[in-house]
Structure 1
Amino acid sequence: MEENSPLWFALREAGRRILSLGEILIEIPQQFHERWNRLILNMSDALPQRITFPSLLIGEYLIVKDLENKIILTNQEISESYETLWLPMKTNLVLPMLEQMCSELLLAGYPGCEGCGFRENEDVWNEILSRNNLLEFSQ
């Protein structure tokens, strides 16, 4: 995957959401649970101040939800909601790439400390632009 491509930006935003949001539920196929449990352990090592971590559920696709069951990101089908980050890739391809992106962000010190302004300094994600770029990029 090419750095600074539309897919790279979407995966980076997905990684940011997984690392910075509080309690989330991550639905993925069973065969990926061991690797993602390891990622969650790495999150606890890198973020000792954090109290809650993602929970893994068995699912056919990548679906990340908050505790109110709102879909935060998915690779399933394009969502009508532009609050949902869409990753248009097959599950067996997107999960290793997203895991690597999360690991790289953790190694770079993301998401930083609570209250130090790290997340506030980032640009707001534009899902409409991302979807248009991804569709154009895939053609």
Structure 2
Amino acid sequence: MQLKEFSFICPVIESAVVLKAIETVTSPDAIAQTLGNTDSVEERKRKLPSQLVVCLIIAMSLWSSDSMGTVLKNLVNGLSRQWTKLGQYWKVPNSLSISAARQRVGCRVMSQLFERVVRPLATEETPGAFLGELRVYYSYR
């Protein structure tokens, strides 16, 4: 699925669409490489693997009014099996565990992942994307 199929016209974005967008833009390989480059890979098997924590941080910005536990539960239930290799009886960790996992991953991972993934999608042929030679940016605030 191409990102151009996603639209921000609808004021409420369904969870499935957001999860598909995360999977489309940020591949598990890109996250794994970024974690390796920043030495943020866990040394032992954890209930919250670093790759899942990175997706949680992204999802938290999209569902900022929900609790971290709720966002994590929805994330694990919504992402494809390629992403979450968690057991059938996995339970959502408490908020202290989630906070500790976020600190373990750190901000360097998110900064480098942002630099690796984020690119303008509009080309010169995209209607309304340029004003003269300047790229137009929209703010949805």
TM-score bracket, normalised by the shorter chain, equals 0.3 to 0.5
- TM-score, normalization: structure 2? 0.33
Identify, as 1 or 2, the structure richer in strand: 1
Identify, as 1 or 2, the structure richer in helix: 2
Between structure 1 and structure 2, the one with the greater Rg is 2
